[in-house]
Amino acid sequence: MAWTRRSRRGKESFGFPDENASAPRSNNPPKRGGLDLLLADDGGVPDFIMLEHIDEASFMDNLKTRFSRSEIYTYIGEVVVAMNPFRSLEIYNSKMVKDYRGREMYERPPHIFALADAAYRTMKRRSMDTCIVISGESGAGKTESSKIIMRYIAAVTNASKQDEIERVKGMLLRSNVILEAFGNAKTNRNDNSSRFGKYMDINFDFKGDPVGGHIKNYLLEKSRVIHQQEGERNFHIFYQLLAAAGDAMLRDLGLNRDAAAYTYACAGRTTKVPKIDDRKDFQEVNAALQTIGFTNSLQVTIWKLVATVLHLGDLKFVPRGSDACHVDDTSKLNTIGKLLDCSAENVGKALTKRTIAGRGETIETNLNKEKAMVTRDTFAKALYDRLFSYVVSAINSALEVANDDQKNTVIGVLDIYGFEIFERNSFEQLCINYCNEKLQQLFIELVLKREQEEYKNEGLVWQDVKYFNNKVICDLVEAPRSGILAILDDGCMQVGRTTDNMVLQSMDKQLGRHGHYFSRQTHNELRDLRRNADFRLKHFAGDVTYSIEGFLEKNKDTLFQDIKRLLFNSRNYDIKTMWPDGDLDKRAVTRRPPTAGKTFKQSMQALVEQLQSKEPFYVRCIKPNDQKSSTVFNIDLCRNQVRYLGLVENTRVRGAGYAHRLPYDHFLLRYKMVCPHTWPKFRGSDKDGVMAIVKHLRLSTASSNQASHDVAMGKTKIFISKARTLAMLEQRRAKEIPKLVIKIQAVWRRAIAMRYFKRLKAAFTIKQAFKRYKTTGYLAKIFRTFKGVKQDPNLGRDARWPVPPKVLRPFQGYLQRIHKTWRAGVMVRRLTRQEQIDMRLKVLAYPYFAGKKVDWGIRQVWIGNYLSRRSTAHDADAYKKAMEGYKSKKMYRQILFSSIALKLNSKGKANKRALVVTDTSVMKLDPVKFKLKSGTSENIPLNLITEIRVLKDGPPLICLATSDGRDIVACLDGDDRTSELVARILHHLNPKKRGNSASAAAKIPKVKISNTITFNFKGKPTTLRVQRDTLAKEEAFKKQGKEFIFITA
């Protein structure tokens, strides 16, 4: 959050921008407490009371130093002096709110948050009303300071997020938008100058949450409605309406968008301000009106009255004879009548005639042109003033506390005009400066009263403080019979024509000897005063010269009853309600209304009484320059404001006697590290601990009978007399803090490490116990599931495994493998030896044939030596006899496989042979006598086989590819036994099988299953494929081109 330039008013203002804004950080968040900054001698002291010499030169030097370092806040005790920085400062974000929330003012660097929090805490803890008085000249940031205070209070309240509290907070914040639009204007000093005084009460419930509020407005600058100085504008709302209202709305109001076309809007010859976006502001005003709850009919009435004021300024009067006149343009009159819901005739009559009542009769007199113009201007001012008051009243109705029976506490925020000295000062400046005199008097009295009460309560002797008591100036203005306001009222009451000059003569006569009143008639040596035109008052802030011209007229503020009666008889309910004093019969004799001066005096007295009933807090705003520059410090301008606000005087009063004081417990907590007797914990009373520190540092006390002492001991507080004593305490504390930080860090890090270790150990213990618990439970389920598994015919094959914990999922996989291995072992042991051999061969063949060959013989009984079985197809006895002969010749030791096969010979023809696979070779024998023909192609060593190729579907074709090109291509007789042949060869040639000489030198051949078989025929690669022929009588091989065909039925 930052004090930002906002386009909606063109004013340097405190804004609360987006948290995520990427604006450069101009002022880093404070890292040290407020008193710590005493050590930063190059940045000035944070509290003017800490100045070694309290005089104007030292005050200004410290103010300038802090401004140059972007330290815009400085204290005078509990008073905040705020400099307008005219640039964005990142010191209002949520982190800063957190830093200042619930902290004492001295614990953090000076900030308006600290004062707002102090006011809020005082209200909440002590259940007493508080108020914050904000003062300063135009452009110093008063209005924006009040917004920041309200937003801070909104940020620290409603922890429970109740909708009703949020609604009230929203209305409190949005009310500022409406009040600025209707009560602020561009002046030559400030683009968003408040032209009225405002006091807002915020009501809080017992929990400290805002539940309602009330606004009181003071002395709206009505004269601005009809006249503005060159370079200034009327109130913002006129230009917002013309710039942003819809075309249809403007037509209904009889307006156009050119503000220069309206006399009241262009009197200052300025209708637009570069830094103000009237269109956007108008949208915000409408949104605020909706949020607060203004009805649609009331909003329409408001725009009608604003338009009426603009139209009134364009009314022209034409003389009719010497003592009468009439309105020149009746169309304008008709428009005004339409907007006011009155007849145009009655409007014209109220502006050009006057009804005088007396003794039950009425007399109607005409007004000449000059009087009619005065009536028109008075009408416009009164109409806008009533509208403004009615808007404030509507806001108050919306903010009214719902349940008034409950006890509520209040924080008041006063945003009042600052002291004003212009080249030409009139009645308004007298009232404003009188207001500042009253507030200054109240401030001094409250500060002195608070000091006296504190000294008395603490048992210290109060020393009288010399200061300028401006009560004499307040009496000069407000005294009942001899004051300036009383003399003005007398002039208004006199029968006949009383002039401003006559009032000045009366003031000279009654006040001429007063030490603070001067005029040319009473002090002829004052050549700069105009004779019979000026008078001068010696205010606490300086001398101000006033021009008497217009005082009487502005004090009378007379509005004829005809105008009031006209508006009361309006058909518009809201307009009628605004003018209850118009409900009088024409013949009724009305009392003279109270004068403006008397009304303002009474409101000031009521305000002072209200402030006296509350605990006050003060914000003094200062404008560093007129150029709105963030770097220029105009020493003369700032010096004048310091004088106007009486800041040096305030510092002297506040710093008289003892510059600083702290409760014993706070002092001991802050400085106990400077004394070994009090660190780390003092066992005794807080006062005894403070005394131990004082003695250790050898500070002199008031009871030591020394003319100059360092501290005084009260009942509950210690009082420090000199700034250098406090600076010495801070230096000693700052010296010890790094040592303590190191110790605290070491202890804290050890504590963190120990806590982490204990948590880690506990976590490990819990984890282990939990794992044991889950594992034990899981194993118990396993035992229950597989209990009696040996008696199960399926050996637990269909058992449902329990769901394991995540950590035991891999373990369950191992268990399942163990169970499958055990089950397989049991099943294998139940088989005969031949069944076991058969099963092992099928297991060996499974990876090669499963899923690749449909019927690969897994359900058949594998015999191996099929030719040894008796059959009609061959002579088993002859086969056995022949094989015994070969065995005796040591041609083999074991027969692996034998079968009748149709073999492809070297001529490409089919020959029937007995295919016998032994442990040493593949023998191709005569199928009748089983003789081995001569030639190497009839007996191929087993270790030459490199690949076995099997046909995927169809007849049991097989190719035994050899490394020397003597490939054997054959079709086995009977059932498909190709898988058995492959398994027996692979099993025999397995290197892990011991005692087999053939397998020792051979490699395991590859196995390939496909739809065609490739083989080597006479040194050339050739393909064999199957061709089905239903007419074929027998199976045969046939060469067809470059490939072979196996013909089968």
Which residues are catalytic, by number?
Answer: 138-139, 143, 190, 193-194, 418, 420
Q: Rounded to whole angstroms, how far apart are CA atoms 697 and 679?
A: 14
Residue among 149, 125, 124, 145 nearest 136 (CA)? 145
Contacts of 631 (CB under 8 A, 6+ apart): none
CB 877 within 8 A of CB 869: no
The enclosing H or E element of 198 equals strand 197-204
- Does residue 319 sit in helix, strand or coil? strand
Residues in Cβ contact with 637 at an 8 Å cutoff, skipping those fewer than 6 apart? 623, 624, 625, 626
| CA dihedral of residues 757, 758, 760, 766 (deg, nearest 10) | 160
DSSP 3-63: EEEETTTTEEEEE---TT-----SSPPP-S-TGGGGG-GGG--SBGGG-SS-SHHHHHHHH
Q: DSSP letters along 252-281, please?
A: HHT--S-GGGSGGGSTTS----TT--HHHH
**Can you tell me the distance from the alpha carbon of 150 to that of 135, in angstroms, rounded to the nearest whole number?**
16
Q: Buried b / exposed e across 693-702, counting CB within 10 Å, b at 16+?
A: bbeebebbbb
Are the CB atoms for 271 and 185 separated by under 8 Å? no
Are 709 and 701 within 8 A, CB to CB? yes
Retrieve residue 153's tokens. 């209070």
Spatial CB neighbours of 613, under 8 Å, sequence gap ≥ 6:
129
What is the layout of strands, in order, in the sheet containing 945-951?
Answer: 939-941, 921-925, 910-918, 895-904, 968-972, 957-962, 945-951, 1006-1010
Beta strand 534-539 with 517-519 is antiparallel
Helices 163-183, 142-156: inter-axial angle, 10-degree rounding: 170
CA separation for the pair 492, 553 (Å, rounded): 8
Count of beta carbons in the 10 Å neighbourhood of residue 227: 15
What is the C-alpha separation between 699 and 203, in angstroms, rounded? Answer: 46
Q: What is the 3-state secondary structure (H, E, C) of 512-534?
A: CCCCCEEECCCCCCCCCCCCCCE
Q: Which amino acid is at 456?
A: K
Tokens standing for residue 198: 């405002």
φ, ψ dihedrals at 830, nearest 5°: -80, -15
* Owner of token pair 């156009």: 256
Distance CA 221, CA 183 (A): 8
Cα–Cα distance between 585 and 578 in angstroms, integer?
Answer: 18
Check: CB of residue 460 under 8 Å from CB of residue 719: yes
For residue 52, give both structure tokens.
Answer: 């070694």
DSSP assigned state of 460: P
Under 8 Å between Cβ of 970 and 850: no
Name the DSSP letter for residue 192.
Answer: T
Answer left, alpha or beta for residue 657, where phi above 0 means left and psi between -120 and 50 means alpha.
left
Count of all residues that appear for the chain in the document = 1049
Q: Do the Cβ atoms of 640 and 650 come closer than 8 Å?
A: no
